[in-house]
Amino acid sequence: MKQSNYIHSKIKKLLLLLLAIFSGQVYGQDWKLIEEMKLDETITAQSIDPDGRLYIGTSSGNVHRYNPDGNESEYFSAIANFPITTISAWNRFKIFIYYQNTQEFYFLNRFNTTPIRYEIGDFENDLATLCTPGIDNSVWILSTAYNELRKYNTQTKQLQLANPLRLNLGSATYMRAFQNLVIIADPENGLYFFDQYGNKQGQINEQGISYFQISGDEMIYLQEDNVCYRNIFKPELVKKEKAPSGSFSQVIKSGDRFFFIGEDKIALYWTGP
């Protein structure tokens, strides 16, 4: 029995050592440029839908949609004439757009009906720093003025929960609800994980992350010129690939293609043979 426990202990230590060695290791990648798209306005938000289509929000309040091949397929002009703070396209039938300047958000129903508009003031009196759709006819609102994470029903506009935060998220830039989690990106401090009740579950101390994409059980983001893949439920597991050179701030993966996003340009790369 002692011999068995000894062997088990050795194996466990070896696995931990291998995890420490390979977690976060940077791998090379053979990037092939397909196309570059230049915009005449500043890019302020981005997202991808389940069909691999890219959504870009701009400083003028416009929304551009690109197919996976890089061709622009839809253009929605000036929903509000202010910079778009957040686009969330994980629900392809209800594209979510949030404007922090005007404290309002919209749902676009497949670009073929008038957008449905909501004012944050209809839900609460506090200023919202970030806002994102929940998975159950709800929205999550981060209020850094009162340092609370709140959830509201979009149909009744009733408060469902409010959780005071014991941390400063004043520099947070992106928030996403996923399954039973709410994940917040703060470029100055890292990634924060909250459960469905708004309780903090964990934190990744990695600076420079202002946005992330969720694909399967992975978060994909650009950090220090690397494309990073981090497991959501085992966040200590991370793989990094060297990104192509360029003034890029974000990355979105669509199949074996990658949209690298700069201030006013998009570069589409391929990693196939």
Nearest to residue 90, comparing CAs of 179, 27, 157?
179
**Spatial separation of the C-alpha atoms in residues 89 and 181, rounded to whole Å:** 17
> What is the number of domains present in the chain?
1
75 pLDDT band, cuts 50/70/90, is confident
Asked whether the predicted pLDDT for residue 24 surpasses 80, the reply is no
Q: Considering the chain, what percentage of its residues have pLDDT values greater than 90?
A: 74
42 has a pLDDT exceeding 60: yes
From CA 173, how far away is CA 209, in angstroms rounded? Answer: 9
Q: Would the CA dihedral through 203, 206, 211, 213 be positive or negative?
A: negative
pLDDT, average across residues 109-116: 73
What pLDDT, on a 0 to 100 scale, did the predictor assign at position 30?
A: 87
Give pLDDT tens digits for 82-105.
999 999 999 988 999 999 999 999
Predicted confidence (pLDDT) per residue in 123-179, tens digit: 988 899 999 999 889 999 998 778 899 999 999 999 999 999 989 898 999 999 999
Work out whether the CA dihedral 145, 146, 148, 150 comes out positive or negative: negative
The pLDDT tens digits for 178-235 are 999 999 999 999 999 999 999 999 999 999 999 999 999 999 999 989 999 999 999 8
Q: pTM to 2 decimals?
A: 0.87
Of residues 43, 52, 131, 142, the one with CA closest to residue 90: 52
Let me know the angle formed at the C-alpha of 201 by 197 and 207, rounded to the nearest 5 degrees.
120
CATH number of domain containing 174: 2.120.10.30
> What's the pLDDT score for residue 125?
84
How confident is the model at residue 74, as a pLDDT? 85
- Note the pLDDT of residue 144: 78
Q: Which residues sit opposite 245 in a β-bridge? A: none
Dist. CA 208–CA 68, nearest whole Å: 27
Distance CA 78, CA 38 (A): 18
76 pLDDT more than 90:
no
Tokens of 245: 């050179």
On the question of pLDDT at 257 being above 50, the answer is yes
Domain hosting 158: range is 2-270
Strands 159-164 and 174-178: unpaired
Is the pLDDT at 17 greater than 80? The verdict is no
Q: Which residues have CB under 8 Å from 262's CB, separation 6+?
A: 43, 246, 247, 248, 249
